[in-house]
Structure 1
Amino acid sequence: MSKIIYSLLFAFLCMSCSSESTNPAPMPTPTETLYFPPLSGITWETKSIVSLGWKQAAVQPLLDYLELKHSKGFIILVNGRIVMENYFNGHAATTNWYWASAGKTLTSTITGIAQQEGLLNINNKVSQYIGTGWTSETLAKENLITCKNLLTMSSGIEDIANGDDVSPASLQYKADAGTRWAYHNVYVKLQDVIAQASGQTWNTYFNTKLRDKIGMDGAWFQSGNNFVYGSTTRSMARFGLLMYNKGKWDNTVILNENYFTEATTTSQNINLGYGYLWWLNGKASYHLPQSQLTIPGSIIPSAPNDMFMALGKNDQKIYVIPSKKMVVIRMGDAADNVNLALSDFDDVLWQKINALYQ
């Protein structure tokens, strides 16, 4: 009997081996490489909704919502490839539009580039580069303000004085640097710091070190008391892709990863949702512009927790989501006649985006 059982087991094993050899397990699909578009021309690889396994039925509700909410340009990248690119309300792929405060992240990036080139140290006081008297504070208080304080909105300067004006008379003392978070356009003084430290104009240094290296178009233009960046939607997407790849464009390091990590991590212990001019989702609490109120929870509850964002007036958006390998861009007019960088529009928009793949 034991010989019979042995023979049957042997035969079964042989059949199993034969079955496995004739029907081998499928090979794992190789990981898709991260794509970067050429620096010039209009070539940009695409990826279809279907090929990603996303839901085609969710596309039109998203587009309808974007058009309803006064959008002009919208792009979704996955692994660098365009999955959605849509224009609304008379806008086109070649039309420039302003970034508003989403462009603060350009200044943050250029500051990091200048530091890695040894031109400045963000821990040094601002007056070391542009001289004293750039505020109306006492010399002792002014000298407390470092470049890092400007990057983190913790300068302590009064945040409601004369709107966007950054002349010395408007930059008044409210608190010691580092003790108070307040959204303020005084960050633009970093552009003066970089111009002085580099011996070049802000525009020249920006174009040479960032814009031209990643194939962006666009330019800085005067808006009120400040300079604002304007570009096509695709150029905004290029910058988002650079930051998705932690400061590298293909194999070229534009911004070193250490600074990138600092910039996209909580930068002070007051507003946990803020890095170096980047907004951070998924933190335990956050502050809104023009408010000292600590709000519990994530900035955009419906969006991924690892998302970091460039947010500008009238709902200019760069969303970077490492866990989804995604970059999402939205340009346009204010979705709900709200001028702040953050509004309920973000949360509803992300519900529509989530419907594509959930």
Structure 2
Amino acid sequence: MKKLIKYILLLAVLALVYLVYINYPRLNMIAGYSAKNMASSVFLADRSFEFTDSIDNSFTPINGAADEINEKEKSATSSVYGLLTRKAIYRNGLGAVLVPKGADENEAYLMPKRNQAKNGLAFPYGAGEQKDSVFENINYKLLRTAVDSMFNNNEVKQTRSVLVVYKDQIIAENYADGFDKDSKLAGWSMTKSITATLFGILQKQGKLNITDKAPVESWKDDERAEITINDLLHMNSGLEWEENYKEISDVTKMLFLTDNMPKIQEDKQLIGTPNETWNYSSGTTNLLSGILRKQFNSHQEYLDFWYAALIDKIGMHSMLVEADMDGNYVGSSYGWANTRDWAKFGLLYLHNGNWNGEQVFDPSWVDYVKTPTNGSDGEYGGHFWLNAGGKYPDVSKELYSANGFQKQRVFIIPSNDLVIVRMGLTNGEDIVDFNAFLRDIIKSIQ
């Protein structure tokens, strides 16, 4: 009997060891996400450890990690059942970053130089409050009902903010408890649209042509040499990539295991035909961030350009784009800003690149990002999502948007002179009905 018990215990131990072995890579993802998000939330967005632990990091499987923070050194550590621990550090100007194995977390780094001087103007061209305006053609009761629909049953929807801008005027603005107009919120993949815009700016400046072959040295002697910057901007390069956040995949390896994110996509092989094989890829956007870096003579110029040419130029002073350990901006995912500043980005596009009289990018760039990429069924353009295929049947097909994980949205609807921002923490596909939300806002403007 004792031998049988020992045998059973041995089998149980072996089974446990096997389960740990096959799931160990996933622990890296869980601990990595938890530590990185904790560091960003506390040290960038100024939220408390308790809030982040109980809300932002409370969904499965991330809630399996136990977090700690070190206020003095501005770091967060996360452990999954004591089996694996990851650490994220906060670097001024560059945000939070996971420390890859073997990396020197104390290595000196450059930070972007920023011009955050306030101009005294009212929103959107400054940070000042607008004068109260009442539009006779707006049914404000219906508008309020539409906005409130995003907050009804908010334990599930977890909407954090909604902002509606009509003819440059804020006509509706609402925040969940604990958030306000100054709260910095993660845009996740909305940052992709920021990254793409920088290519439009460089093209207007005559420093780059998006129809050129992508300047990637490692591709020059193989079939990847035919990939253009345009192919990358349309997620249509034909490069191998798996965008799966539930498993260990290309995207999770990139975000949680590497110190040089552009390199992950650069090293992938061609498995499709450029301009004929649409495949949504965060790796592609970070490769584009690496290509942007090569357009400048120094790393400092690259770091400064994002802010001087776009972010601070249009007064998005709350925004911070986080960088990897090698100093590449994580253009795929890690942009933070308050809701009003996200709206400013939408308004820049609504006004065809003109910001208070200055042309930031050429109006033709708007047509470019709204042109559906081959194979996307009208859903995707140049790093923006489209309604050309009728995803939102009760809204104009000219709508386009910057979209991010957990239902972050900046909707741009030119025919209605509208920019609508929704930020939240929603997990699940059918929890938020954007079609009804947008339809009802448009109906309120007669």
Work out the CA distance in 1 between the residues paired with 2:404 and 2:124.
27
Larger Rg: 1
- SS of the residue aligned with 2:286? helix
In the alignment, which residue of structure 1 is the partner of 2:229? Answer: 147
In the alignment, which residue of structure 1 is the partner of 2:294? Answer: 196
- SS of the residue aligned with 1:242? helix
Work out the CA distance in 2 between the residues paired with 1:254 and 1:325.
19
Which of 273, 280, 284 in structure 2 is aligned with 1:176? 273
Structure 1 residue 236, shift from structure 2 partner: 0.5
In the alignment, which residue of structure 2 is the partner of 1:18? Answer: none
CA contact (8 A) 2:412 2:419 kept: yes
List runs of 5+ in structure 1 lacking aligned partners: 1-34, 286-297
Structure 1 residue 58, shift from structure 2 partner: 4.7
Which of 309, 321, 327 in structure 2 is aligned with 1:220? 321
| Inter-CA distance 182–253: structure 2 relative to 1 (3 Å threshold) | same
CA contact (8 A) 1:36 1:80 kept: no
| Inter-CA distance 132–326: structure 2 relative to 1 (3 Å threshold) | same
Structure 1 residue 304, shift from structure 2 partner: 2.1
In the alignment, which residue of structure 2 is the partner of 1:325? Answer: 417
Structure 1 residue 241, shift from structure 2 partner: 0.7
Task: Kindly report which structure 2 residues correspond to 1:126-137, keeping only aligned pairs within 5 A, or say none.
Answer: 126=214, 128=215, 130-132=216-218
| Inter-CA distance 344–88: structure 2 relative to 1 (3 Å threshold) | closer
Structure 1 residue 72, shift from structure 2 partner: 0.9
TM-score (norm 1): 0.76
Which of 139, 148, 154 in structure 2 is aligned with 1:54? 139
In the alignment, which residue of structure 1 is the partner of 2:340? Answer: 234
Structure 1 residue 208, shift from structure 2 partner: 0.6
Task: Please say if 1:206 is aligned against 2:306.
Answer: yes
Post-superposition CA distance 1:289-332 (Å, at most 9, x none): xxxxxxxxx11112222211111111110111111111101111
CA contact (8 A) 1:262 1:275 kept: yes
| Inter-CA distance 61–260: structure 2 relative to 1 (3 Å threshold) | closer
Structure 1 residue 102, shift from structure 2 partner: 1.2
- SS of the residue aligned with 1:329? strand
- Code of the aligned partner of 2:271: K
Work out the CA distance in 2 between the residues paired with 1:122 and 1:301.
32
CA contact (8 A) 2:236 2:279 kept: yes
In the alignment, which residue of structure 2 is the partner of 1:44? Answer: 130
Structure 1 residue 223, shift from structure 2 partner: 7.9
Number of residue pairs aligned between Structure 1 and Structure 2: 299
Work out the CA distance in 2 between the residues paired with 1:94 and 1:323.
29
- Which shows bigger deviation, 187-196 or 251-260? 187-196
CA contact (8 A) 1:71 1:88 kept: yes
CA contact (8 A) 1:144 1:176 kept: no
- Code of the aligned partner of 1:74: V
Post-superposition CA distance 1:78-102 (Å, at most 9, x none): 1111101111131111110111111
- Which shows bigger deviation, 79-88 or 184-193? 184-193
- Code of the aligned partner of 1:221: E
TM-score (norm 2): 0.61
Work out the CA distance in 2 between the residues paired with 1:348 and 1:223.
38
In the alignment, which residue of structure 1 is the partner of 2:71? Answer: none
- Code of the aligned partner of 1:150: L
Report % sequence identity: 22
CA contact (8 A) 1:73 1:330 kept: yes
CA contact (8 A) 1:46 1:82 kept: no
- SS of the residue aligned with 2:150? helix
- Which shows bigger deviation, 245-254 or 86-95? 86-95
- Which shows bigger deviation, 161-170 or 71-80? 161-170
CA contact (8 A) 2:127 2:315 kept: no
